[in-house]
């Protein structure tokens, strides 16, 4: 390949085209190569852009080659800035240009025509999808999972042209699952089609098709947005000072070369939890970002404990974090502690004072707050360097009382950024440290330690959530002031899930004050709580990866989206069994008292009939038990349970018909029902009931305790309630059934074993189980319950 072609290939890869398509274009279509290269230069994205913008640029020179050239600069600006980000917006733009011709146009009219800044709410999508389903319900029920999701998506997008196609598709798929339930064997059968001879696409047409991004999560690479370590010479951020000066922070070639020699050019990330509580599902997203990027790039990820506050940290939390990280499937390159670097941090603080960038301050917390609000300098800010060095040494040796002195950074008290208001670097605490004992009397703050340890560990990508974005200025100011290597910092949206809280402070409060049963209460979205509930790390990782790595803050993800991934996983891994929560005695009068029939029941619904491991035996005896809710004293039109004179099918067994009802003394409460079974199976009833037999004739089935959980909070966003958030706790979030009946086949289950209780949900064995009495937690119900207001 000639040098010009190599350069074009590199440009095509930079805008997100896959390598095979890019090579095909360069090799087989000189005109397209020339046009696309020129367009990339015109769009000023020779250094790269995200793949969505790249595909739209590709469409400009293929689908719309030579059209609206006079307006192309404006269009490219909108594409590169992500104001136009879908193919429908691009189509609308060219339609607008077609009507405008060569004339000037008003930007507000152009933006309105293209849907720029139009946000389609989840409620709008949900409402439109519901309408489309109602219009096509007959076809959907006939075709079931063969229904074309693409066609339904197209119908929705006709009504909501600026809606995100991926969100529309997901809502449609979730609504299909809620309507149709789990796939049956018939749904999985491939329909037979007549083979049609199709013309093969040309190489260039093939390149166009391959350049279009596929919407499936499996093919999405969320880590492609991050630059390579060798590119870390660009200006990271600009720090604007109140005197009008600007600090442009970037690595020098010498500093970067030294860093690359240590790392070998590999990606180095870190997962830096503070050991002051248990990890929650938001940390699962952070792990997916930090460990996931390192894994995808063949790099390394530290597990670093951010242990700068000895008053809040416990060894219990440290042990828990390591355990959970391993359970989630992540393997740290190395486990470190910020406290490992306390000596280096102290030495750098001394150097910072010596450079005139830090001072010892005697203001108390209230005074510091007041002076910051007024943007006033501390009266101690201009004290001599030698004096600050001496006082800082006294702080280290414990010669100054707590609260009487701090070390503060000399930044900019008149800045527009609150995080440049002379942040505290060190404070005095006469508290032993879980990791270093009583060696230190002073401890660094997060703002001082975090960026420096990132640099000392040669982190290439320092990734954090968006609330830390305003700290970028302080992060880079400090590293610049010390002449240290600067990692690439990138912030992403934090994970917020409905009907729960994610604040460690609030979690700690409800745990400490017994609103819940510990950090691993199954109602919490702590990772320990999810594990105890029976949720697998595979499901959690699939959920957080599907969210992507975006900067769209404020999104509230509906908990049903997490539950969908849980069901997807457990449907494949959890064997079936039968449990009756609220038993009602049923006597089969035409079955001999001492007769027991061994029936085959399926552990897996899609198992082959010739696979003996897929089956287990269920004994059918004269006395069995069904759910109380599966019997009514009077039948009704849409009721498929048992009623006097009515027949139902016992799962894996025979049809039964109710012949008599036995009441208690109050003549209202049903004590037992009598039925006759149909050994020939001549009756074909619609209703199918799960059931549990006596463990042996005359002996009750084994008893188990079953705990069912609902949302811990009634509101979707309890954080919005501010001080009233505790009043939103759902008093019925935990329901315990102490004496449910279960098949004896599960009596030897151990903690962590998960089953599908047919017709009820997925359940896992809890750690509270004791010999002779298993305790089960409901992991999730069988069907989706997608609600409005989430994503």
Q: Token pair 């789990």 is at which residue? A: 182
10 Å CB burial of residue 375 (0-12, 13-18, 19+) is middle
Q: Where do the H-state alpha helices sit in 160-252?
A: 165-180, 185-188, 203-211
Both tokens of 21, joined, read: 């398509």
Both tokens of 218, joined, read: 């499996």
- Taking only Cα atoms into account, the Rg of the chain, rounded to an integer number of angstroms, comes to 32
Q: How many helices (H) and strands (E) does the chain have?
A: 25, 27
Question: Measured in Å, how far apart are the chain's first and last C-alpha atoms?
Answer: 47
**Any catalytic annotation for residue 504?**
yes
Q: How many angstroms separate the CA atoms of 387 and 355, rounded?
A: 13
Among the options 274, 469, 676, 700, which is catalytic? 274
Residue 493's nearest CA partner among 473, 471, 472, 464 is 464
Among the options 83, 396, 494, 734, which is catalytic? 494
Among the options 285, 410, 427, 504, which is catalytic? 504
Instruction: Decide: 445 and 406 in contact? Cβ < 8 Å.
Output: no
Backbone angles phi, psi at 454, to 5 degrees: -55, -45
**Any catalytic annotation for residue 146?**
no
Instruction: Decide: 147 and 140 in contact? Cβ < 8 Å.
Output: yes
**Any catalytic annotation for residue 274?**
yes
Q: How many CA atoms lie within 13 A of 476 on its CB side?
A: 24
Strands 670-677 and 655-663 turn out to be antiparallel
Taking residue 91's Cβ as centre, other Cβ atoms within 10 Å add up to 15
Work out the angle between the directed axes of helices 19-28 and 203-211 (0-180°, nearest 10). Answer: 150
Q: Which DSSP category does 764 fall into?
A: E
Handedness of CA 591, 592, 596, 597 (dihedral sign): negative
Q: How many CA atoms lie within 13 A of 463 on its CB side?
A: 30
Return the SS3 of 135. helix
Instruction: Decide: 406 and 427 in contact? Cβ < 8 Å.
Output: yes
**CB neighbour list of residue 66: distance below 8 Å, 6 or more residues apart:** none
Distance of CA 593 to the CA centre of its chain: 54
Handedness of CA 61, 62, 65, 71 (dihedral sign): negative
Q: How many angstroms separate the CA atoms of 401 and 234, rounded?
A: 44
Q: Which DSSP category does 557 fall into?
A: B
Q: How many angstroms separate the CA atoms of 95 and 89, rounded?
A: 10
Catalytic residue list = 274, 494, 504
């Amino acid at each position: 390949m000639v040098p010009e072609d190599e350069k074009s290939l590199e440009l095509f890869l930079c805008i997100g085209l896959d390598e095979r398509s890019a090579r095909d274009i360069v090799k087989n279509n000189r005109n397209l190569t020339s046009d696309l290269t020129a367009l990339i230069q015109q769009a000023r994205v020779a250094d790269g852009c995200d793949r969505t913008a790249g595909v739209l640029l590709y469409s400009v020179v293929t689908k719309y080659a030579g059209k609206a050239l006079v307006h192309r600069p404006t269009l490219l600006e909108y594409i590169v800035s992500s104001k136009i980000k879908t193919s429908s917006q691009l189509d609308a733009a060219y339609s607008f240009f077609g009507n405008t011709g060569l004339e000037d146009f008003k930007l507000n009219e152009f933006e309105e025509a293209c849907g720029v800044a139009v946000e389609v709410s989840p409620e709008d999508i949900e409402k439109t999808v519901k309408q489309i389903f109602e219009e096509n319900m007959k076809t959907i029920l006939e075709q079931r999972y063969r229904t074309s999701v693409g066609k339904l998506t197209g119908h929705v997008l006709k009504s909501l042209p600026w809606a995100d196609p991926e969100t529309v598709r997901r809502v449609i798929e979730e609504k299909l699952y809620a309507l149709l339930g789990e796939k049956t064997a018939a749904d999985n059968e491939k329909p037979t089609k007549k083979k049609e001879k199709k013309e093969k696409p040309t190489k260039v047409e093939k390149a166009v098709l391959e350049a279009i991004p596929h919407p499936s999560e499996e093919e999405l690479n969320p880590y492609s947005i991050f630059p390579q370590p060798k590119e870390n010479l660009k200006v990271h951020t600009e720090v604007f000072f109140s005197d009008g000066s600007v600090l442009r922070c970037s690595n020098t070639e010498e500093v970067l070369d030294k860093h690359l020699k240590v790392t070998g050019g590999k990606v180095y990330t870190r997962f830096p939890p503070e050991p002051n509580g248990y990890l929650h599902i938001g940390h699962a997203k952070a792990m997916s970002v930090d460990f996931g990027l390192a894994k995808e790039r063949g790099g390394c990820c530290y597990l670093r404990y951010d242990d700068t506050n000895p008053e809040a940290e416990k060894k219990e939390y440290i042990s828990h974090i390591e355990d959970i990280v391993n359970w989630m499937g992540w393997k740290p390159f190395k486990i470190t502690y910020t406290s490992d670097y306390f000596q280096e941090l102290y030495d750098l603080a001394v150097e910072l004072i010596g450079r005139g960038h830090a001072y010892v301050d005697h203001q108390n917390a209230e005074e510091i707050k007041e002076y910051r609000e007024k943007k006033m300098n501390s009266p101690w800010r201009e004290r001599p360097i030698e004096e600050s060095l001496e006082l800082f040494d006294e702080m280290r040796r414990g010669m100054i009382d707590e609260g009487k002195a701090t070390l503060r950074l000399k930044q900019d008290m008149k800045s527009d950024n609150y995080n440049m208001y002379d942040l505290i670097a060190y404070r005095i605490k006469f508290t032993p440290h879980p990791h270093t004992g009583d060696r230190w009397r002073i401890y660094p703050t997060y703002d001082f330690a975090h960026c420096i340890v990132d640099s000392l560990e040669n982190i290439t990508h320092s990734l954090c959530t968006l609330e830390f974005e305003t700290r970028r200025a302080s992060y880079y100011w400090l590293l610049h002031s010390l002449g240290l290597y600067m990692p690439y910092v990138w912030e992403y949206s934090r994970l917020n899930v409905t009907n729960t809280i994610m604040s460690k402070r609030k979690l700690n409060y409800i745990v400490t004050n017994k609103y819940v049963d510990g950090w691993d209460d199954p109602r919490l979205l702590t990772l320990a709580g999810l594990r105890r509930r029976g949720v697998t790390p595979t499901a959690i990782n699939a959920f957080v990866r599907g969210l992507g790595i975006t900067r769209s803050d404020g999104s509230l993800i509906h908990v049903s989206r997490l539950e969908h991934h849980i069901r997807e996983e457990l449907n494949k891994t959890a064997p079936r069994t039968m449990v009756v929560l609220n038993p009602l005695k049923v006597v089969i009068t035409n079955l001999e008292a001492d007769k027991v029939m061994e029936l085959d029941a399926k552990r897996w619904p899609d198992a082959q009939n010739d696979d003996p491991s897929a089956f287990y035996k269920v004994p059918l005896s004269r006395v069995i038990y069904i759910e109380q809710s599966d019997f009514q004293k009077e039948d009704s039109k849409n009721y498929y349970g048992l009623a006097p004179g009515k027949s139902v099918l016992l799962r894996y067994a025979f049809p039964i018909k109710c012949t008599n009802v036995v009441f208690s003394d109050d003549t209202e409460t049903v004590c037992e029902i009598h039925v006759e079974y149909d050994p020939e199976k001549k009756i074909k009833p619609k209703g199918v009931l799960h059931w549990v037999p006596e463990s042996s004739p005359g002996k009750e089935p084994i008893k188990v305790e079953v705990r069912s959980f609902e949302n811990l909070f009634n509101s979707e966003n309890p954080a919005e309630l501010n001080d009233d958030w505790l009043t939103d706790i759902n008093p019925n979030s935990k329901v315990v059934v102490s004496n449910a009946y279960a098949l004896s086949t599960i009596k030897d289950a151990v903690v962590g074993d998960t089953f599908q209780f047919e017709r009820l949900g997925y359940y896992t064995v809890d750690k509270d189980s004791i010999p002779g009495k298993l305790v089960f937690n409901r992991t999730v119900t069988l069907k989706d319950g997608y609600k409005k207001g989430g994503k």
